[in-house]
């Protein structure tokens, strides 16, 4: 039985998170995870092979990710989908393969759980149409949005095509769009996180956009990044991973600096999370973490994208009620481990913070296994013609 609540990426604040009517509500993406029994499975959702511009054959790529202990692997060649069979993969070593490709227009889009190739332009409708072409199973993530300085300026200034509003429209009108890639290779595009934080303050509280870390491996970046999915063992399947991605029940971990050479990432030293406890009455989020030399608590900022509101080596407890004046829509913990030259970071997904609507809005039960789509007239819902 899946321990996750599937919300199709659009969530409402569950009643259980409210201390009292009119009080602050917190959306905890990990609320349904049983940390005691869940496994933490490593996924790389962005990889290239000789089917596009990667250096290694698909089988070699599986061999190497198996050596590195990965549980899920998506082969996402540029603008081409090919089955694992057609690629000549004969031994997946127990890794769960995720079909996909990378639509490579002006924005690059990681298309996952999708067995079609579809060329597309750069409008949100075209991107969504490509991802949705897989019978409702497809999901997509905007890859490395900060690789182009113009995109960053457009997002922050609101002038130009890729404004924060453009991203927000894409995410708010497409429940298949679960995330944004914010770590690529080592730390190729730090601006990815600036764009992500800026976009979050547009999409929340209606829905969150989850952070993804991925290798974008072309042959020289094996095992620098991973999505760490929190799953019961029986859910180590494509559908189980998809549920975790929809719900935000995962972390994004990246070795951002200092690895001496390829394949030397020591995942045992990566910042890791043993439990996340929300006390709604006290207004606290507690992170039980290992391998952590610093913790930052971050919110979004209209001018700068990312804003750190608290920081400290022992800051494992954050009181969101006492810090409401510092919080802009959400707070997210960032775990950092610096050991010698090596720095590794783990993003815990954002906790949306809001005052629930006073009346006429039914947020639904926290354990309802149905999409919690609409509960308030103020939500931006565009009628979808794709179903």
Positions in the binding site for Zn ion (CB under 5 A): 102, 108, 143, 216
Residue 157 gets which letter from DSSP?
A: H
Q: Could you tell me the smallest distance in angstroms from the CB atom of residue 25 to Zn ion?
A: 37
Nearer to Zn ion, 15 or 188 (CB): 188
Q: Could you tell me the smallest distance in angstroms from the CB atom of residue 46 to Zn ion?
A: 6
For residue 367, count other CB atoms closer than 10 A to its CB.
10
3-class state of residue 22 by DSSP: coil
C-alpha distances in Å from residue 81, one per residue of 72, 89, 174: 17, 14, 22
Task: Please state whether 325 falls in left (phi above 0), alpha (psi between -120 and 50) or beta.
Answer: alpha
Burial class of residue 12, CB neighbours in 10 A (0-12, 13-18, 19+) = buried
Nearer to Zn ion, 143 or 187 (CB): 143
Q: Could you tell me the smallest distance in angstroms from the CB atom of residue 48 to Zn ion?
A: 6
What does the alpha-carbon distance between residue 213 and residue 187 come to, in Å, rounded to a whole number?
10
Nearer to Zn ion, 219 or 371 (CB): 219
Tell me the two tokens of residue 287: 């992170």
Q: Give the residue closest to Zn ion by C-beta.
A: 108
Q: Could you tell me the smallest distance in angstroms from the CB atom of residue 107 to Zn ion?
A: 9
Nearer to Zn ion, 154 or 216 (CB): 216
Q: Could you tell me the smallest distance in angstroms from the CB atom of residue 108 to Zn ion?
A: 3
Nearer to Zn ion, 148 or 316 (CB): 148
Q: Could you tell me the smallest distance in angstroms from the CB atom of residue 280 to Zn ion?
A: 40
Nearer to Zn ion, 102 or 235 (CB): 102
Nearer to Zn ion, 102 or 176 (CB): 102
Give 318-383 as a DSSP string: EETTTTTTT-BSEEEEEEEEEETTEEEEEEEPPEEEEPPPSSS-----TT--S------TTS--PP
Q: Could you tell me the smallest distance in angstroms from the CB atom of residue 52 to Zn ion?
A: 8
DSSP count for the chain of H helices, then E strands: 6, 19
């Amino acid at each position: 039985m899946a321990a996750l609540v599937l919300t199709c990426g659009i969530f409402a604040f569950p009643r259980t998170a409210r201390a009292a009517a009119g009080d602050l509500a917190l959306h905890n993406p990990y609320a349904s995870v049983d940390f005691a029994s869940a496994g933490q499975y490593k996924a790389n959702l962005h990889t290239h092979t000789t089917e596009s511009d990667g250096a290694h054959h698909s089988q070699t790529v599986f061999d190497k990710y198996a050596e590195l202990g990965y549980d899920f692997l998506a082969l996402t060649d540029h603008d081409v989908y090919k089955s694992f069979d057609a690629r000549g993969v004969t031994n997946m070593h127990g890794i769960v393969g995720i079909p996909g490709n990378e639509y490579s227009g002006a924005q690059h889009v990681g298309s996952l759980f999708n067995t079609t190739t579809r060329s597309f332009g750069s409008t949100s409708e075209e991107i969504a149409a490509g991802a949705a072409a897989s019978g409702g199973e497809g999901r997509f993530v905007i890859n490395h949005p900060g690789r182009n300085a113009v995109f960053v300026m457009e997002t922050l200034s609101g002038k130009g095509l890729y404004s924060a509003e453009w991203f927000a429209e894409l995410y708010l009108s497409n429940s298949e769009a679960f995330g944004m890639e914010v770590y690529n290779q080592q730390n190729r595009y730090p601006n990815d996180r600036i764009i992500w934080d800026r976009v979050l303050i547009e999409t929340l509280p209606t829905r969150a956009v989850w952070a993804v870390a991925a290798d974008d491996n072309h042959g020289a970046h094996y095992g620098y990044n991973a999505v760490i999915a929190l799953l019961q063992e029986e859910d180590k399947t494509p559908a189980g991973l998809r549920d975790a991605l929809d719900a935000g029940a995962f972390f994004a971990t990246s070795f951002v600096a200092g690895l001496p050479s390829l394949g030397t990432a020591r995942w045992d030293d990566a910042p890791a999370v043993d439990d996340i406890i929300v006390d709604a009455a006290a207004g606290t989020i507690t992170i039980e973490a290992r391998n952590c030399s610093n913790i930052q608590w971050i919110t979004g900022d209209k001018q700068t994208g990312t804003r750190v509101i608290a920081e400290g080596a022992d800051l494992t407890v954050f009181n969101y009620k006492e810090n409401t004046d510092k919080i802009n829509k959400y707070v997210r913990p960032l775990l950092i481990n610096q050991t010698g030259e090596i720095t590794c970071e783990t993003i815990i997904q954002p906790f949306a913070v809001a005052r629930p609507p006073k009346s006429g809005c039914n947020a639904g039960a926290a354990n309802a296994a149905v999409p919690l789509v609409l509960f308030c007239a103020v939500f931006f819902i565009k009628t979808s013609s794709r179903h």
